[in-house]
Amino acid sequence: MATKSKSKAVFLTGSLMGHVTRMSLTTSIGLMAIFAVDFVDMVFISMLGNDALAAAVGYAGTLLFFTNSVNVGLSIAAGALVARELGAGRHEQARQFGTSVAVLGTVVGLIVSMTVLFNLTFLLSLLGAEDEVLRLAARYTSIILPTMWVMAMAMTGMAVLRAYGDARRSMLATIYGGVANAVLDPILIFAVGLGLDGAAIASVIARICMLVAAVGPAVRVHRGFGRPSLQQLRADIRPVGAIAVPAVLTNIATPIGNAIVIREIAQFGTDAVAGMAVIGRLLPVAFSVIFALSGAIGPIVGQNFGAGQYDRVKQSFLAGVKFTAVYVCLMAATLFLLRASIADLFQAQGETRALIYLFCGPLALASFFNGMIFVANASFNNLGHPVYSTWVNWGRHTLGTWPFAVAGAHIAGAPGVLMGQALGGVIFAGVCWVMVRRVVSKLATPQPMEPFAGQNRLQALFGRRGW
C-alpha cells in the first residue's frame, strides 16, 4: 500500500508554480553539490600554480561534457516516458520503460567511452589542446571516461525518481556524490600528492556513490526498475528510441557549441582558455537552478499530458519561464557584486580576469534566454515532439554560435567570442517561444503516444514532422 501511495501522479493537482519551484530548487541543490565540487576542483588545481593544469581541465571538461550529453539524453527519455505512463495510470509500463532505458544506458556508455578512448588524443587536438596541455588533458579524461556507464545508470535512476515526484531522493543522490568528491579532493590532490590524477579519481568514486544512492531508492521505494529481459528490451526500443535518439542528438549539440567557443578562445592564448575553464565551473554553480529546470519541469508536463490536462500543460511552460526570469535577475545581481572576489579567488589576472568580469556582468543576464530554451526543450520532449528539441539545439549551437563567435572574435577578441555566443542564444530563445506556442495550441487534438508513428526514423528527423 505504501508503494502505491508513493507512486501516484502527484503533479495533476495543486499549484503549478509551486510544483515548478519545489522541483527546480530541490533538483538544483543536488546539481549544485556536483557543480560546486567541480568549482572547488578548479580552485585546488589553480593552487598548484600551473596554468597548463587549468587549461587541461578546460579541454577535458569539454570532451567529457560531450559524452555525458549522451547520458542526459537517455535520462530525458526515461523521465518523459515514465512520467507520461504514470499520468495515464499505467504503472507497470512505466516500470518497464525505466528498466529498458537503464540497460540501454549501460550498453551505450560502454560503447561510446571505448570509442572515445581509442581516439582521445585526436579529439583533444581538434579542440586546440597541444603539447603539455594535451598530455595532461588526455590523462585526466582517460581516468574518468571508463565510468560513463556508471553515470548513465545514476542519471537514469535520478530521472525515474523525479518522474515519480520524488525530487528529494534524486537530490540526495547528487549530494552524496558531491560530498564524496569534496572530501576526497584535498586528500588525493594534496595529502596523497596525486595532483590532477587525484581530482579525476575523486570524480570516479563520486559517480559510484551517485549510482548507489539513485538506483537503490528507485527500486526499494517506487519499484521503478524491474528485472531486465531481452524480450522486453526489444519491445521498448522503438518508444524509448523515439525520444532518446532526438534527445541524445539534442544534448550532443551543446558540447559541440562549447567546442566551437573554446576553439575560438584558444587563439587568444592559455590565459583566455583558463578564463573559459573558470567560467565553465562558475556557470553551473550560479545557475544550477536554471540547469535543473529542464529535468524539473519535464515530469510536470509529462504527467499532465498523459492525463489529458492540456490547460495545465500550457500553464506549466509559462510558470517555468516566469521562474527563470526571477531567478536570473537575482543571481546576475549577486554575481556583479561579487565579481572582484570571484576573480581574486582564482588569482586571475589579465585576460582571465577580464573574461570572469564579463561573465559576472551582462553575460549573466543572458542566461535567461538559455533557461527559456531549456524549458521549451523539456516541453517538446514530453509532448511527443522531441525532434523539435533536436533542431532547436543544433541550430542554437551551430548557426547560433559559430558565425557570432567568429565575428565577436574579430571585433572584440576573446570577450567578443562570449558576447557573440550570447547573442545567438537570444535569437533562438525567440524561435523556441514561437514553436512552443504552436505546439501547445494544438494540444486539444488527440496526440499519438508514439512520436514517430507512421514514419521511419529518417523521415521523422528530416521530413515534414522534423521541420
CA-CA distance, 334 to 87, in Å (whole number)? Answer: 39
Split into its structural domains, the chain has a count of 1
CA-CA distance, 351 to 73, in Å (whole number)? Answer: 35
> What pLDDT, on a 0 to 100 scale, did the predictor assign at position 50?
77
Q: Is residue 210 part of a domain?
A: yes
C-alpha cell at 273: 582558455
pLDDT band at 5 (very low <50, low <70, confident <90, very high): very low
235-266 pLDDT per residue, tens = 888 888 888 888 888 777 877 888 888 888 88
Q: Is residue 5 part of a domain?
A: no
Q: Is residue 198 part of a domain?
A: yes
**Which of 164, 49, 187 lies closest to 97, judged by CA?**
164
Check pLDDT > 60 for residue 447. no
Indicate the angle between helix axes 167-186 and 16-47, nearest 10 degrees.
Answer: 10
CA-CA distance, 341 to 286, in Å (whole number)? Answer: 14
Q: Is residue 64 part of a domain?
A: yes
148-169 pLDDT per residue, tens = 999 999 999 999 998 898 888 9
User: In terms of DSSP H, where are the helices of 119-229?
Assistant: 120-127, 131-144, 148-163, 167-186, 196-220
> What pLDDT, on a 0 to 100 scale, did the predictor assign at position 251?
75
Mean pLDDT on 20-27: 82
> What pLDDT, on a 0 to 100 scale, did the predictor assign at position 254?
77
Check pLDDT > 70 for residue 461. no
C-alpha cell at 48: 598548484
> What pLDDT, on a 0 to 100 scale, did the predictor assign at position 34?
64
101-126 pLDDT per residue, tens = 999 999 999 999 999 999 999 999 98
415-444 pLDDT per residue, tens = 899 999 999 999 999 999 999 988 888 876
User: Higher model confidence: residue 324 or residue 2?
Assistant: 324
- The three-class DSSP label of residue 268 is coil
CA dihedral 214, 219, 225, 230 (to 10 degrees): 100
276-306 pLDDT per residue, tens = 888 877 887 788 788 777 777 888 888 888 8
C-alpha cell at 190: 594534496
pLDDT band at 35 (very low <50, low <70, confident <90, very high): low
> What pLDDT, on a 0 to 100 scale, did the predictor assign at position 349?
82
> What pLDDT, on a 0 to 100 scale, did the predictor assign at position 376?
92
Q: Is residue 4 part of a domain?
A: no
Q: How far is CA 140 from CA 120, 165, 277, in A?
A: 11, 36, 15
CA-CA distance, 224 to 211, in Å (whole number)? Answer: 14
Residue type, 407: A
Mean pLDDT on 129-158: 92
193-239 pLDDT per residue, tens = 898 899 899 989 999 999 999 999 999 999 899 888 888 888 888 88
C-alpha cell at 239: 518508444
C-alpha cell at 437: 506556442
CA-CA distance, 177 to 254, in Å (whole number)? Answer: 24
Domain limits at 215? 10-462
Percent of the chain surpassing pLDDT 90:
33
> What pLDDT, on a 0 to 100 scale, did the predictor assign at position 109?
93
Q: Is residue 261 part of a domain?
A: yes
What is the average pLDDT value for the chain, to the nearest integer? 84
Taken in order 80, 84, 86, 92, the sign of the CA dihedral is negative
Check pLDDT > 50 for residue 412. yes
User: Higher model confidence: residue 28 or residue 339?
Assistant: 339
Q: Is residue 419 part of a domain?
A: yes
pTM of the model: 0.72
CA-CA distance, 64 to 140, in Å (whole number)? Answer: 10
> What pLDDT, on a 0 to 100 scale, did the predictor assign at position 3?
41
Residue 130 is given by DSSP the state -
Residue type, 76: I
pLDDT band at 464 (very low <50, low <70, confident <90, very high): very low
pLDDT band at 466 (very low <50, low <70, confident <90, very high): very low
pLDDT band at 458 (very low <50, low <70, confident <90, very high): very low
Q: Is residue 1 part of a domain?
A: no
Percent of the chain surpassing pLDDT 70:
91
Mean pLDDT on 354-365: 89
